[in-house]
């Protein structure tokens, strides 16, 4: 049979985003060459901070709309010290997420073999930490409501507001997505995080909608509720009591960085920005940023980029799935793509276990050595 082709658009962005995107393309190519049942056709867009300074924009007019024609988007990282971070975030990442309806951001965390968690208990037993954080990706503080009066922030009497937006529709769809995710995991456990003591409107609505949806999963998923401050303590003290976690855009952003650090390094953590209705392409990226402090040195950890690539393959594998009542699509599998994602994860684990690791994981290898080792390991695992 002819291999199934997927068109992937790469947006490497800035700093180490460029190095790790290159590395991910190499690994994805090695994987398709080994399996032979699918191919990737890559295109690269130069939406970077350097170009922003020269041309005045990240994405050109109509650029974000143009992403709709691809099967998936692979994103590196954007942001550079000479462009304010709110510009790169609001002109590049957020327009993609909102235009393409990527309302679910999925962030798995595990401790890879050969790496060490800063938590003593997990250093002894890495299986204690196995989480998926589901981040609401379209609302809250990232909805863009607010303003500064007067517009010069330097005036003495300046007032600035940052309004969190929460909608019933937005909460319900992410909570349902999280329950479905929990249902597919072995422990079938979901923890919802809010701050409904202090934030008494939006967060109270979250709690209410959560318990409403929870009724549909009664007896099938075990669930509980945490306040975000107490949650940080539980993540550190009792990681084994958590499995799937659902939280607002801002809370989950913060908790997932903590999760990544507890798993050993921010350099290994993947993230998927999903349109669960599959109307538009989804976007896959490591959770770390452009890391200006190590950019250009060839030492960036590519593992988060590889893991994100594995998540992309897993998502593409469900591309022929049919929609259920909630508009969520069940993956039925395209060829051997689910196996390919597993193969890539095993190859990564074998390489870290052998000690081929970048410095952030306590190793001495560079980006290229780790990438070459994973590419080679793919054919061994296959
Ligand atoms: P960062 O994630 O870029 O770096 C934080 C620390 O972790 C640095 O010490 C860095 O060297 C280290 N680190 C990150 N990724 C690594 C990797 N793969 N291997 C080894 N070490 C790694 O976060 P920071 O410094 O807060 O932000 C830098 C820039 O990136 C900013 O402009 C920020 O806005 C942007 N950023 C962009 C994101 C995105 O594109 N989605 C996400 C987070 C930050
Ligand atoms: Mg973050």
Q: What is the mean pLDDT of residues 330-354?
A: 83
Tell me if 264 sits within 8 A of 239, measured CB to CB: no
| CATH class of the domain comprising 1-103+266-382 | alpha beta
Beta pairing partners, 9: 43, 73
Residue 327, pLDDT score: 44
Residue 293 beta carbon below 6 angstroms from any ligand 1 atom: yes
Residue 71 beta carbon below 6 angstroms from any ligand 1 atom: no
What is the distance between the alpha carbons of residues 288 and 257, in angstroms, rounded to a whole number?
8
List the domain boundaries for the chain: 1-103+266-382, 117-139+166-263
For 243-262, the pLDDT digits (tens) are: 999 999 999 999 999 999 99
For residue 327 the two structure tokens come to 């508009």
Residue 319, pLDDT score: 55
Residue 324, pLDDT score: 45
Instruction: Calculate how far, in angstroms, residue 100's C-alpha sits from the geometric centre of ligand 1.
Output: 24
- Judged against a pLDDT cut of 60, whether residue 320 lies above it is answered with no
Residue 128 burial by Cβ neighbours in a 10 Å radius (0-12, 13-18, 19+): middle
ipTM score of the complex?
A: 0.98
Instruction: Calculate how far, in angstroms, residue 255's C-alpha sits from the geometric centre of ligand 2.
Output: 9
Q: How many Å separate Cα 272 from the centre of its chain?
A: 4
Could you say which architecture CATH assigns to the domain 117-139+166-263?
A: 3-Layer(aba) Sandwich (3.40)
Q: What is the mean pLDDT of residues 252-275?
A: 96
For 97-154, the pLDDT digits (tens) are: 999 999 999 999 999 999 999 999 999 999 999 999 999 999 998 998 999 888 776 7
- Judged against a pLDDT cut of 60, whether residue 290 lies above it is answered with yes
- Judged against a pLDDT cut of 80, whether residue 55 lies above it is answered with yes
Residue 330, pLDDT score: 45
Instruction: Calculate how far, in angstroms, residue 135's C-alpha sits from the geometric centre of ligand 2.
Output: 11
Ligand 1: atom nearest CA of 288 is: 2
């Amino acid at each position: 049979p002819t291999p199934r082709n997927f068109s992937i658009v790469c947006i490497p962005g800035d700093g180490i985003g460029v190095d790790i995107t290159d590395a991910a393309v190499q690994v994805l190519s090695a994987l398709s060459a080994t399996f032979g049942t699918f191919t990737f056709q890559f295109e690269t867009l130069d939406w970077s901070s350097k170009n922003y300074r020269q041309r005045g924009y990240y994405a050109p007019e109509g650029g974000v709309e143009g992403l709709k024609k691809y099967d998936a988007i692979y994103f590196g990282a954007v942001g550079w010290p000479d462009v304010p971070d709110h510009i790169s975030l609001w002109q590049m990442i957020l327009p993609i997420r909102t235009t393409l309806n990527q309302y679910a951001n999925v962030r798995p965390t595990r401790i890879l073999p050969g790496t060490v968690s800063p938590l003593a208990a997990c250093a002894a037993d890495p299986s204690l930490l196995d989480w998926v954080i589901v981040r609401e990706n379209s609302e809250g503080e990232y909805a863009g409501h607010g303003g500064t009066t007067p517009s010069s922030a330097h005036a003495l009497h300046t007032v600035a507001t940052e309004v969190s937006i929460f909608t019933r529709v937005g909460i319900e769809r992410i909570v349902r997505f999280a329950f479905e995710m929990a249902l597919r995991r072995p422990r079938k456990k979901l923890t919802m995080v809010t701050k409904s003591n202090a934030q008494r409107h939006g967060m109270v609505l979250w709690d209410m909608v959560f318990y409403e949806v929870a009724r549909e999963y009664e007896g099938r998923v075990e669930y509980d509720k945490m306040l975000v401050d107490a949650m940080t303590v539980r993540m550190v003290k009792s990681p084994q009591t958590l499995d799937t976690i659902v939280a607002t855009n801002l809370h989950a952003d913060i908790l997932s960085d903590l999760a990544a650090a507890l798993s050993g390094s921010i350099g290994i953590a993947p993230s998927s920005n999903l349109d669960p209705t599959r109307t538009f392409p989804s976007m896959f990226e490591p959770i770390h940023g452009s890391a200006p402090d190590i950019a250009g040195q060839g030492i960036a950890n590519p593992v988060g980029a590889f893991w994100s690539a594995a998540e992309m393959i897993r998502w593409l594998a469900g591309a022929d799935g049919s929609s259920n009542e909630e508009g969520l699509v069940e993956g039925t599998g395209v060829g051997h793509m689910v196996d390919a994602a597993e193969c890539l994860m095993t190859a990564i684990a074998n390489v870290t276990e052998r000690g081929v690791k970048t410095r952030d994981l306590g190793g001495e290898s560079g980006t290229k050595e780790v990438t070459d080792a994973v590419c080679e390991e793919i054919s061994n695992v296959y």
